[in-house]
Every structure is written in C-alpha cells, then in structure tokens.
Amino acid sequence: MFKSLRNLIWGDPNKPELVQISSGQLYLLRPNSLKGSRECLFKDAIATVRRTGNEYQYQLVISRVYDEGEEQLENEDEEIDDEKTFLIDEAILFRKNKTEEGISFAWRDLSGQDEDLFEFVCESSISAHTADTFEQTIYQCMYERKFRSSHFDAKDEDILKLIYTSVRSTPKLDKTSSTPAFDTTAADDANQAAESTTAHTEEEVLDAAAAELHLFDPSPEHICVSQAVEPKMNPVFNNVGLLA
C-alpha cells in the first residue's frame, strides 16, 4: 500500500514539496477556550508536505490563499500570518477523519494547551485517493524522523504502527534534532486520564496479598462459601474504616 506511489512522490530529491492538498480550511480546536471551541484561521488554504534542509526532517505547511485583492486590503495596516509550519513528528498525533464536512486531518498543537488541535478540512473536490496519499506521506516522514533512515527500508507494518490511535502510548517529541521544533512534550489526554486514575487508586491501597475469598454468614456465625482468589481478581484492602 505505502510503496505504490513512492517513486512518483519521492523520486526527485531536489523537489522541496512532496505532496499537496490544493484546497481546504484551517481551524484551531480549543475545547477549553472562552473564545469558542473552533476558530477558523484560514478560510482558504493549501496543505503541503515539504522537505527541510536537514536529512529525515519534514514539515507540514498550511499556507493561506487569498482572493484577488484580499491580501492588499488585509495587509494594509497589519502584518498577517500567511503560513503555519509544523514539524512532522510522531508526537503531533496526526490522524485522518471523515465528518459531515468531508475528509479532514487533525494534529496536536504542541505550542498550545494539551487539548488543542489544528484541523485541516479538505474541500469536497479533493478525492479520497489524494487524501490517502497525503496521509501516507505524513507517516513515511514520521518514520524517517523517528528511525533516522529512509522509509524505503521499512515494511508496511512498520509505518502502520505510527498511525494514531487513542489507546496507544503517546510518544514524546524528539528534541535532539537540529531542526527548529516545538519544545513542549506531547501528552495524550486518554493516557493522562488513565495514569491519573491509576495514581489515585494506588494512593488508596494500603496492602495487597495472595489469599482465599470467603463469605461469612453472621446468623449461624460460620463461613458459607470459600473461593480461591484468582490472579485476575487482584484483591486489595482499602482504608474504609473499621467497626468497633
């Protein structure tokens, strides 16, 4: 799957752009912001995967597209940010989605809050094949940055492991590269919640030990049922108070 278009995309090492989606909109998703959970940054934009000056380093670039005369009007009194650049790293948790608006891509905003995401929504004219090629190229770039080697040496399953899922552990951004990059450590919200729950549970546990489980009937004052404690039962003793 991943090798079918490699020569077409990667064949010219002097070509800075690898793949491009020619039309879409860029949004910033901030679920905890007072300004609103979804802000449109570029109403017309192009998404590009671009080489950098460093080997095995690539960027996701979102460029604003102006209608005729629009740029002059908006730049008359202030400087406008016409391009946003993101280092393609496993830590951005890049993923493809299909919504009512069509095909979209989302990734972590490593310079913002943990919950913040950027979203690029493709125009309806963008084919599924083009979106798939764009996604595949992103993961090939991730592989090269992570392993410092060409993705031509990788198996399809090696690259598939980089595809974002909410249940896998969250990678940290590699800060060793000389490529300018965000220095905020990425953290997956689901994993953080799980770690927090685990830590809270561990604080309440006083002791744990191998034992047998019995049911005590207070009327005849004898034990009615006994059951060996299986490993998967994981019995614990909590500080819930003692009867006098």
DSSP string, 157-222: HHHHTTS--TTSPPPPPP--SSS----SPP--HHHHHHHHHHHHHHHHEEE----EEEEEETTTTE
Distances (CA, A) of 169 to 93, 138, 189, 195: 11, 19, 10, 11
Q: Look up residue 128 and give its two tokens.
A: 């599924």
pLDDT in tens, 11-66: 888 899 999 999 999 999 998 877 778 999 999 999 999 999 999 999 999 999 98
Identify whether 127 is part of a domain: yes
pLDDT at 164: 87
Identify whether 236 is part of a domain: no
Domain count, the chain: 1
Distances (CA, A) of 199 to 193, 194, 233, 239: 10, 9, 19, 16
Q: Which domain holds residue 79?
A: 6-196
Selection from 120, 126, 64, 113 nearest residue 96 by Cα: 120
Selection from 85, 86, 90, 119 nearest residue 105 by Cα: 119
- 112 contacts: CB under 8 Å, gap ≥ 6: 30
- Sign for the CA dihedral angle at 119, 120, 126, 131 comes to negative
pLDDT in tens, 96-146: 999 888 999 999 988 878 889 999 999 999 999 999 999 999 999 999 999
Identify whether 177 is part of a domain: yes
Identify whether 216 is part of a domain: no
Identify whether 164 is part of a domain: yes
Identify whether 224 is part of a domain: no
pLDDT at 151: 92
The radius of gyration of the chain from alpha carbons, rounded to an integer in Å, stands at 26
CATH number at residue 16: 2.30.29.30
